[in-house]
Amino acid sequence: MKHEVIVSAPGKLMILGEHAVVYGRPCLVTAISQRIKIRAVRLKQPVVKIDAPDVNLLGYEKRVAELGKGAVNKGAKFIETAAANFFEKYPVAGGAKLETVSDFFPKFGLGSSSSVIVCAIKSLSDLFDVGLDSREIFDLSYRTILDIQGKGSGFDVAAAVYGGTLYFVSGGKIIEPIAIETLPLIVGYSGVKADTVTLIEQVAQKAKIYPRIINGVYDQIAAIVENGKIALKNENWDALGDLMNFNQGYLESLGVGTKKLSDMVWAAIDAGARGAKISGAGGGDCIVALAGGTRAAVESAIEAAGGEIIKVEMNAPGVKVEQCV
């Protein structure tokens, strides 16, 4: 019987395909080196205790039978809902104390919610010897995301579980690893926190008014992703850059661009990036640029446009056990 397990899971960066992936199309996503860790300690009593210092939450406690019911603390909601789903599906005896340590801030929109959920499910699975495989961790974590935000493709959950670089279709219909050696992307944060659900809603409203046009845009984004998959496999950076620029145009047409994001994208292109685009829901958060031979110049240009460069490595490993006692 295990007493303590420490697991970690990566954040994510969308390469191509956001928004369209919510509606049955594919996307390309890579896991990033920034990780969230959960230390899970077994408790005799059927309670879940949560400490999440990065969101100022200490000493939160609920009985297992009450998880997900009544008032759910904002800082605890991801772990509490994940634990509620775990204990409902696997009614093991006892409880657990879960403590988070984060390498990165939720504000960047780089997938901290999905990686904390995946860490919670994986740590509980290992602590109680349930032995969930990757697909089961994905399914339970994705269900948790839908319970909390009602919408989302699950691409961020897949990145946290499987790691690497993935070709992903909504809801995990396809989760295909793409073997790559390098991915010379630069990430720039706009300084503006965006709300994914609001942006998905906003695009959905547009799709109600202009269904033919918006569905056509989704189909074009899907074609960009299919081409992008080949470009990534062949390390054809010129092609990937073109495809990122096409994708940026379509994201603008969906109405999720902002002046700040455009300024950063254009600054990157003017400084020699092969391609640049919004990464994620838009409205704020991050852009991603594909470095030409000019990484330093592109980074300085993004900073000059008001962005903050976030140093991340791509293609990071998925959820893993760091320590087990």
* Interface residue list for ligand MEV (CB under 6 A): 14, 18-19, 21-22, 152-153, 155, 196, 200, 280-281
Nearer to ligand MEV, 19 or 143 (CB): 19
By residue count, the chain amounts to 325
Tokens of 2: 């295990």
Question: 3-state DSSP call for residue 284?
Answer: coil
One-letter amino acid at 251 equals L
Q: Contact 303/190 with Cβ under 8 angstroms?
A: no
Nearest distance from residue 13's CB to ligand MEV, in Å? 9
One-letter amino acid at 195 equals D
Nearest distance from residue 102's CB to ligand MEV, in Å? 18
Q: Contact 115/11 with Cβ under 8 angstroms?
A: yes
DSSP secondary structure letter of residue 163: B
Nearer to ligand MEV, 123 or 196 (CB): 196
Question: 3-state DSSP call for residue 55?
Answer: helix
Nearer to ligand MEV, 43 or 192 (CB): 192
Helix 237-254 to helix 259-270 angle (10° resolution) is: 160
Nearer to ligand MEV, 126 or 139 (CB): 139
Nearest distance from residue 275's CB to ligand MEV, in Å? 18
Nearer to ligand MEV, 23 or 128 (CB): 23
Nearest distance from residue 282's CB to ligand MEV, in Å? 8
Torsion sign over Cα 89, 95, 100, 106 = positive
Nearest distance from residue 144's CB to ligand MEV, in Å? 13
Maximum Cα interatomic distance, the chain, rounded to a whole number of Å: 60
182 CB-contact burial (10 Å; exposed 0-12 / middle 13-18 / buried 19+) = exposed
Nearest distance from residue 197's CB to ligand MEV, in Å? 9
The Cα 324–Cα 1 span in angstroms is 11
Tokens of 70: 């009544």
Question: 3-state DSSP call for residue 133?
Answer: coil
Nearer to ligand MEV, 27 or 124 (CB): 27
Nearer to ligand MEV, 21 or 117 (CB): 21
Nearest distance from residue 219's CB to ligand MEV, in Å? 15
